[in-house]
Structure 1
Amino acid sequence: MSDFIRKGWCPDAWRPMMAGDGLLVRVKPRLGRLTRDQAAGLANAAATHGNGLIDMTRRANLQLRGVSESGWRVLLDRLLAMDLVDAGADHEKRRNILVSPTWRLGDDSHRIADDLLARLDDLPAALPGKVGFVIDAGAAPLLHDQPGDFRIERSDAGDLMLRADGRSTGCAVALGGEADALIALAHWFVASGGAAAGRMARHDAPLPGWAEGALHAAAAILPWGRGTSYGLPFGRIDAALLARLAKALPQCSGLRTTPWRILLLEAPVAMQDDGLLTDPADPLLRVDACPGQPACAQASVETRDLARRLAPHMAGRLHVSGCAKSCASAAPAAVTLTGRHGRYDLALDARAGSPPLRAALDRAAVLSHFGAA
């Protein structure tokens, strides 16, 4: 069995994971930003060493697909040279930081994220690999509904606050002490048995007194601007399209990745392509669908073609999952289809793998149920 076949953890560039179409190599752009040259280099690397397909994840990371085992090390060296991967595998594993994608140079989000990046070695060694940090300190909060275990957010009163995921309120944090507070909360999490729970939201130990508070985070908004924002169907972009976007950007500009599978460009770029969504009301932006069969060995059903057929018929959010692992989204959706033994289980207002309203539907039955046949 290949050393790359593992389950129950998140891959990165140092530890890729074998999928149905080859190795999955995850790149975590610092501050969720690619310079123009990094975007162009990443596109070339994806086409040269993979199958040219790049997926954006719910943590604003990018996954290169179809990489061969023999070509992985060459790809890793290229990513290191582009400063898209940390030189140490342990450092890279800890660098799970989701930052408000509209940060500006020197603002609170940028400052706090930089402080935390400089102190990754201060995090506890026993912190589970899927645990992450959220820095959402802009004037207009964006990430309230995005998963992340230890969070710095803007409160509804305009102050900075520390909040543990799964808790509805947080406490005020001193200016300049945000990284200290995040690191201290991570150490408390490990010391109080949080590693067994795996995630902060599942850890029911009472918070230490210093981390408790009654502040509420401000309401989140979704950024979208004509000419500078493009949605990616199912979060996927191919290397050729990414290369075209990079070429169209000014030399000193770049692009931002987001957890909503929307690319934010730092300069206006007018481009028409079937792989870019320009309408904020496009039904595909309300759809989550994993790669499915045959790209994923865990999936027993095709997902994305079916999701594309169903999207115009949905009033709420649709989630089509190739199996019960729920990789595309952990949140409940208005309509959820879960693959099981080559057929689809249908559930409403549920997560993937929930008890179905209707079970073992074939593709035709699913399409007929929603009037999409």
Structure 2
Amino acid sequence: MSGPVVKGWCPGAYRPMMSGDGLVVRVRPRLARFTGAQVLGLCALAQRHGSGVLDLTNRANIQIRGVAEADHEPLLQELAALSLLDVDPGVESRRNILVQPFWQAGDLTERLTLGLLDLLPDLPALPAKVGFAVDTGPAPLLSEASADFRLERSASGLILRADGSALGRPVTEAEALPALAEMARWFDARRSPDHRRMAQVLENHALPEGWAVEPPLAAAQTPQPGTHPTGALLGAAFGQIDAAELSDLITDDTALRVTPWRLFLLEGAELPTAGSLITTPGDPLLHVDACPGAPLCPQATVETRELARALAGTRTGSLHVSGCAKGCARARPAETTLVGREGTFDLVPGGKASDLPRQTGLTPATLLSGAF
């Protein structure tokens, strides 16, 4: 049997990806924030054109799944009407910007992100998965999230850090974006078809002098669900949100901020007292990553989420249940990784879905019995 097909790109709005249940259309917010009207519009679109759910991605985007090909163009028109679509498809595909989600109006994070949005059309045409992180809150929150160019704070101020380097380049706010553009050109001149991400390029090329001299501040703990100073921080098992349930929590005044941790913030809201959303810290499902699996993904040969839900809390540490060796739900190692292959599971302790397994041919019954 042939291995899974690695696309080399993520779905977007203009360029959706076909899955087992239809097209996957990714919506990229600006400043990690949707207005209340935009959230209500997305919920309605997911119910009208999709499967009725919204997916939170590990790049802090929202996806509408199950879109019929004939519905794609009408969906684009409605996303544009909600101001959620760039006129230029090229700019839309480049807008891979992770933003520290707890920014305040007028602060450094907002200023840098708005400047980066303006800069995007002038940057080189970078590989599809290349992204940026504006992580300039009191302490880094996005260190474990996927990004190639990172703006962070250091003990002395602001740094620009290439992913894969422990140290960054000190910059002032005025220097930050010109320095980022310079780094993007440096990366573009050295990347190759086999080295399309910054960390891969750094395996073969040293950064210029002065670009790796100062460490970022120590990373903060990943936030947990619960009451937040600016609203309610809620979790979604496997990043999946029922659109009808979410719409019941939203008014035109309730903005929503997305994160790469399967959490989202409802500004000014109270914690819901019922429903499927996660509201308490330490919920075992927040330590479990699972892709949609079969039959929703044509690359997968196993169902994933039912097993992942059953195993949540039964293993020490993080658990990743992947439908195939691509490992889309989690790029980094987990304490326990289960990988679907030809209808059964391989076990990779302390590794990624693409790593060599210690055990193969495990059935769901064996896994649920704990005999692994």
TM-score (norm 1): 0.94
Does 2:165 match 1:182?
no
Q: Report the number of matched residues.
A: 362
AA partner of residue 257 (structure 1): V
Aligned pairs for 1:1-373 within 5 A:
7-125=7-125, 127-155=126-154, 157=155, 159-193=157-191, 196-203=194-201, 204=203, 205-224=205-224, 225-226=226-227, 228-247=232-251, 251-369=252-370
Q: Which runs of structure 1 show a deviation greater than 4 angstroms over 4 or more consecutive aligned residues?
A: none
Q: Secondary structure at the match of 2:313?
A: helix
Q: Secondary structure at the match of 2:249?
A: helix
Q: Is the 8 Å Cα contact of residues 28 and 61 (structure 1) preserved in structure 2?
A: yes
Q: CA 1:317/1:268 → structure 2, altered by over 3 Å: closer, same or farther?
A: same
Q: Secondary structure at the match of 1:76?
A: helix
Q: Is the 8 Å Cα contact of residues 123 and 183 (structure 1) preserved in structure 2?
A: yes
Q: Is the 8 Å Cα contact of residues 345 and 359 (structure 1) preserved in structure 2?
A: yes
AA partner of residue 141 (structure 2): L
Deviation track 1:129-176 (CA, whole Å, cap 9, x = no partner) reads 100000000113211221200000112x15111100011111211122
Matched residues in 2 for 1:212 and 1:42: separation? Answer: 41
Matched residues in 2 for 1:334 and 1:307: separation? Answer: 14
Which consecutive unaligned segments of at least 5 residues does structure 1 have? none
Matched residues in 2 for 1:319 and 1:53: separation? Answer: 21
Q: Which moved more, 1:323-332 or 1:188-197?
A: 188-197
Q: Which moved more, 1:257-266 or 1:273-282?
A: 273-282
Deviation track 1:322-350 (CA, whole Å, cap 9, x = no partner) reads 00011001010000000000100011100
Q: Secondary structure at the match of 2:174?
A: coil
Deviation track 1:177-234 (CA, whole Å, cap 9, x = no partner) reads 2121211111100112356401011112111224221323322222344261111000
AA partner of residue 223 (structure 2): P
Deviation track 1:216-262 (CA, whole Å, cap 9, x = no partner) reads 33222223442611110000001101211213xxx434010000000
Q: Secondary structure at the match of 2:24?
A: strand
Matched residues in 2 for 1:216 and 1:52: separation? Answer: 41
Q: Secondary structure at the match of 1:339?
A: strand
TM-score (norm 2): 0.94
AA partner of residue 59 (structure 1): R
Which consecutive unaligned segments of at least 5 residues does structure 2 have? none
AA partner of residue 171 (structure 1): R
Q: CA 1:274/1:338 → structure 2, altered by over 3 Å: closer, same or farther?
A: farther
Q: Secondary structure at the match of 2:70?
A: coil
Deviation track 1:24-55 (CA, whole Å, cap 9, x = no partner) reads 00000111101111000000011111111211
Matched residues in 1 for 2:265 and 2:23: separation? Answer: 27
CA RMSD of aligned residues (A): 1.6
AA partner of residue 175 (structure 1): E
Q: Is the 8 Å Cα contact of residues 56 and 261 (structure 1) preserved in structure 2?
A: yes
AA partner of residue 244 (structure 1): D
